[in-house]
Every structure is written in C-alpha cells, then in structure tokens.
Amino acid sequence: MAKTLLEFEKPIVELEEKLVEMRNLSSTLNIDEEIRVIEEKVKMLKETVYKDLTRWQRVQLARHPERPYTLDYIYLMTHDFIELHGDRKYKDDKAIVGGFAKIDEFNVMIIGHQKGRDTKSNVYRNFGMPNPEGYRKALRLMKLAEKFNIPIITFLDTPGAYPGIEAEERGQAEAIARNLLEMSLLKVPIIVVVIGEGASGGALGIGMGDRVLMLENTWYSVISPESCSSILWRSWDYKEQAAEALKLTSEDLLKLKVVDRVVAEPLGGAHKNHEEMALTLKSVLKEELSQLLKIKPEKLLENRIEKFGAMGEFNE
C-alpha cells in the first residue's frame, strides 16, 4: 500500500530518501563526507522531532494506518492461534477478534479491537468500531478462559463503540456495562494493552484488568480530541487544544495512575518496525504474566477492585 506520511514525518523521510540517492552515487562520486553529514542530520532531526511531539501528534501516530493491529501482534508474538467467533446470541462482530494462543510457554486468551488496512477491510472491520455483539463475544471468550484457567490479554484500538440505530436497539450501553461488571469478577489475570486508540467506553468495554499498559504513542481518554473540540469549543478546529487539555498520552496516564506501565516503541513509532514492536511487547507481556500468575484468585480480585477504586481525584 501507499506510504502514509504525517506532516512531522516528512522532513525526516525526505532526508532519508536523499541519503539513499547519495549512497547509490557514492561509488562513482567521492561524497562520503557529505553522506556522513546528512546521516548525522537525520539522526539529530529524529531525536528532536520525536522527543517533543505534541499530544495531537501522538494522537496522529496512534492512528497511523501502518501501525500494527491486534492480528499483527497475534501473528508476530504468538503461535497456535485459534480464532474463535461469535457471541452465541446474534452474530460475529468483525471489529473485535479473539481466540486461544500461545506466547512461548504461556497459554493465553487474546482479545482485541481490529481495524482494517484499506477501504475494503475497514468496511469489513467497521473501522474497529464494535457493535454490542462484539462486546458480548469478548465476554464469552473471557468466561471461556476463566473456565479453563487461562489468563486474558486484551488489546485496545478503537475510535469508539459504533453509534448506530441497531447498536442502540441491541443494547450497546448494556453490553459495555455488563463487561465492566463481569470483568471485575473474572478469576484469571487480565492484562490490558492500549495499542492504538483508546476512545472512551468503546475501549474500556474490554479494558478492565489487573495490569493496564500503554504503548508509547497511543491515546486513551473519555472522548476524542475532535468530539471534545466540537462540544466544548463548539467547532471542529480546536482538536490540538482539546488534545492538550485532555491529557491523553501514555506519559499523562502514567502520571494520573490510570496505567501501570508504558511500553517503548521503536524510534518514530510502532509502524516503523512491526517486528521490533511485537518483540518488545512480547517480553513485557511474559514478564507481567509470570508475576500475575503467582497471585491467588481471591487476592487478584481484591486488588483489581482496589486498583479501580483508587482512580479519581476530589476534595473533601
């Protein structure tokens, strides 16, 4: 597919392309010195650009169409994946995928939002926006995992639960609420990873867990910057300000104690190197799994209720 370039990625990529050209010429021309200068420049440019990304730029990275999605991580990180379909009530929602998988020696149930890469697959995946049956499928798979004592990993990456007539008719709100209640009682470890966009209740609907992780360039909030802008600023034009105000980056959420850990991405973002990203995440997940599996189920539930109970700030 065609490469997508974000505005702030352009100068870097332009220089990199120039570098490639120059290297091709270097056998005939004596330009090694110039090449070294440009290489140095690229390195410095990358460091400055990615060190000082604004919150809005992070949102753009989180939505980068070349980022790895749930199924990419599953293929890169696990083996023996068996996808399981359907909520046993209405249908199989393609915006949430899940199934058994092995991460080296660990048996896990992996569930995540799934976006598409092009128009056709995005229509198939409903742009990663689940209907109620997606949440109900997720809950069915989580209960299945609990039954066979298998830990659960969920991947969050959605622009939101789908706002449609049928979604309302089939109880979008009830489906999300039910998951929050049931996930509080599951007797197996749950690890939640925000791998892209964590938009509001649609993300949280599979986002309750014992450990909540965020990849470095992702966002998670109560509303998207665009919708926040349209409501509070009464215009779509204040998305940058809204992103700043919402404090929605991984760094922000670590400070707000909503996430436990931020997972570093390859320089430039997860889309620059899927394999490296998956490898990093895999080792983090193995570490977390081995710690959580040591905790007794009763203690796990107690901790989970306490963890979410502590979230929020108020004055008495």
Partner 1 sequence: MAWFKRAKKNIMDDTPRKDLPEGLWEKCPECEEIIHKRQLEANCWTCIKCSHHFRIGSEEYISVLLDKDSFREMDKKMRSADPLDFTDSKPYPARIKDSIKKSGLFDAVRTGTGKINGHPVALACMDFKFIGGSMGSVVGEKISRLVDKGIKDKIPVIIISQSGGARMMEGVLSLMQMAKTSTRLAKLSSLNIPYISIMTDPTTGGITASYAMLGDINLAEPGALIGFAGPRVIKQTIGRDLPPGFQTAEFILEHGFLDKVVHRKELRDTLSKLLDFMS
The contact set with partner 1 (CB under 8 A) reads: 161-165, 167-174, 176-178, 180-182, 184-185, 200-201, 204-205, 207-208, 220-223, 227-228, 231-233, 245-248, 252-253, 256, 258, 304-305, 308-309, 311-316
Q: Please report how close the Cβ of residue 3 comes to partner 1 at its closest, in angstroms.
A: 29
Q: Who's near 170: CB < 8 A, 6+ residues apart?
A: 90, 131, 132, 133
Which of these, 220, 145, 142, 153, lies nearest to 183 by C-alpha position?
Answer: 142
Rounded (5°) CA angle 227-248-308: 110
Rounded (5°) CA angle 106-136-86: 75
Sign of the alpha-carbon torsion through 178, 292, 212, 299: positive
Q: Please report how close the Cβ of residue 8 comes to partner 1 at its closest, in angstroms.
A: 24
Q: Please report how close the Cβ of residue 183 comes to partner 1 at its closest, in angstroms.
A: 8
CB nearer partner 1, residue 72 or residue 87: 87
CB nearer partner 1, residue 182 or residue 276: 182
CB nearer partner 1, residue 47 or residue 237: 237
What is the distance between the alpha carbons of residues 175 and 89, in angstroms, rounded to a whole number? 12
CB nearer partner 1, residue 158 or residue 172: 172
Contact 50, 254 (CB under 8 A): no
Q: Please report how close the Cβ of residue 244 comes to partner 1 at its closest, in angstroms.
A: 10
CB nearer partner 1, residue 161 or residue 292: 161
Q: Please report how close the Cβ of residue 38 comes to partner 1 at its closest, in angstroms.
A: 41
Which of these, 281, 287, 289, 137, lies nearest to 209 by C-alpha position?
Answer: 289
